[in-house]
Amino acid sequence: MTGAKASAPDEAQPVTAGTQNLDVAQLQQALAEAQQQASTHKDQFLRTAAEMDNVRKRAQREVENASRYGLEKFAVELLPVLDSLQSAVSNAAQADAKSLAAGQEATLKLLVKAFERLNIRQINPTGEPFDPDRHEAVMAQESTTAEPNAVLQVVQPGFELAGRLLRPARVIVARAPS
């Protein structure tokens, strides 16, 4: 080899003032872009956090209103029944038994219609097998005509609201003769 030394590819090249200025300018531009992205992301985060807070507050208000005014539809449906009962009571002194009975029937029809509109359904399980989840046995009675554990008679009907039990039907249940 002659006196010239070949430079190895992994050796660093000398940094000149021109290349150093170029690197600093690139770094400053990258920093400015990163700061702009960070600012944009921070703004998006703050907007999302505010929107989530608004959604939470709106849901809380809706739950409070549902709790406070949930019975409004029920009350509106029962007002005609109340009016009919008040009319019957105020006219009871002048009315005969036949007109009182007719008034009671009309009031009962109003109540049944209100229950239908509110999706309240009567449970009348006569002849059905006894179901402890929907029926309350008040008595067991021997029967030769009905299957054991079948409902013989309904003492007090039960009610469901949209498939949910409000009150079980109180029933007399058949048992096998002794």
Show the tokens assigned to 2: 């002659």
- The answer to whether the pTM exceeds 0.85 is no
Distances (CA, A) of 49 to 53, 57, 59, 63: 6, 12, 15, 21
CATH number 2.30.22.10 given to 120-178: yes
pLDDT band at 49 (very low <50, low <70, confident <90, very high): very high
CA dihedral 77, 81, 86, 91 (to 10 degrees): 150
Give the per-residue pLDDT at 16. 64
pLDDT digits (tens, 9 = 90+) for 18-44: 667 778 889 999 999 999 999 999 999
List the domain boundaries for the chain.
120-178
> Can you tell me the mean pLDDT for 164-169?
95
Q: How confident is the model at residue 178 (pLDDT cuts 50, 70, 90)?
A: confident
Q: Which amino acid is at 87?
A: S
Q: Please report which residue ranges of 118-175 form alpha helices under DSSP H.
A: none
3-class state of residue 158 by DSSP: strand
Per-residue model confidence as pLDDT tens digits over 111-135: 999 999 989 999 999 999 999 999 9
- Report yes or no: 152 and 177 within 8 Å, Cβ to Cβ: no
The mean of the pLDDT values for the chain is 88
